[in-house]
Structure 1
Amino acid sequence: MYIPEEYKNNNLEEVKAFLQKNSFGILINQSEGKLCATHIPLELEKSENGKDVLFGHISIENPQWKGFASSDKVLCVFSGPHIYISSSWYDFEGVPTWNYIAVHVYGTIKIIEGEALLSSLKKLVDKYEANSENPVKVENLSKKTMMMARGIVAFEIEIEEIQAQHKLSQNRDQKNYDNVIAALEKTGNSSAKSIAEEMKKCPR
Structure 2
Amino acid sequence: MAYPPKIHQDNNKAHMIAMMAKFPLATLISVKNDEPVVTHLPLIYNDNKLIGHVDKFNPQAELLKDNQPVTIIFSGPQCYISPSMYKTEQLPTWNYVKVHLKGIATEITDADKIKQSMINMTTFLEPENAYILKADNPKMEAYLPYVKGFEITISHWEGKFKLSQNRNTEDFELAKQELIKQHQKSIEKFLNKMF
User: Which bracket does the TM-score occupy, shorter chain normalised?
Assistant: 0.7 to 0.9
> Structure 1 residue 83 and structure 2 residue 79: aligned?
yes
| Partner AA of 2:153 in structure 1 | E
- Which of 116, 119, 125 is residue 119 of structure 1 equivalent to? 116
Residue 151 to residue 179, structure 1, CA distance change in 2 (3 Å): closer
Please show how residues 151-166 of structure 1 align to structure 2 within 5 Å.
151-166=146-161
Q: CA RMSD in A?
A: 2.5
Match of 2:144 in 1: 149
Secondary structure of the residue aligned to 1:139 is coil
Tell me the TM-score normalized by structure 1.
Answer: 0.79
Residue 181 to residue 33, structure 1, CA distance change in 2 (3 Å): closer
Tell me, yes or no, if the aligned pair for 1:99 and 1:167 is still in contact at 8 Å. yes
Match of 2:58 in 1: 62
- In 2, the alpha carbon distance for the partners of 1:120 and 1:53 equals 12
1:138 offset after TM fit, Å? Answer: 2.9
- Which of 106, 109, 123 is residue 110 of structure 1 equivalent to? 106
- Which of 63, 74, 91 is residue 70 of structure 2 equivalent to? 74
> Structure 1 residue 26 and structure 2 residue 27: aligned?
yes
Match of 2:133 in 1: 137
Secondary structure of the residue aligned to 1:73 is strand
- In 1, the alpha carbon distance for the partners of 2:89 and 2:127 equals 49
- In 1, the alpha carbon distance for the partners of 2:80 and 2:175 equals 11
- In 2, the alpha carbon distance for the partners of 1:128 and 1:15 equals 18
1:29 offset after TM fit, Å? Answer: 0.4
1:175 offset after TM fit, Å? Answer: 3.6
Tell me, yes or no, if the aligned pair for 1:31 and 1:66 is still in contact at 8 Å. no
Tell me the TM-score normalized by structure 2.
Answer: 0.82
Match of 1:13 in 2: 14
Secondary structure of the residue aligned to 1:117 is helix
Residue 146 to residue 8, structure 1, CA distance change in 2 (3 Å): same
- In 2, the alpha carbon distance for the partners of 1:29 and 1:148 equals 24
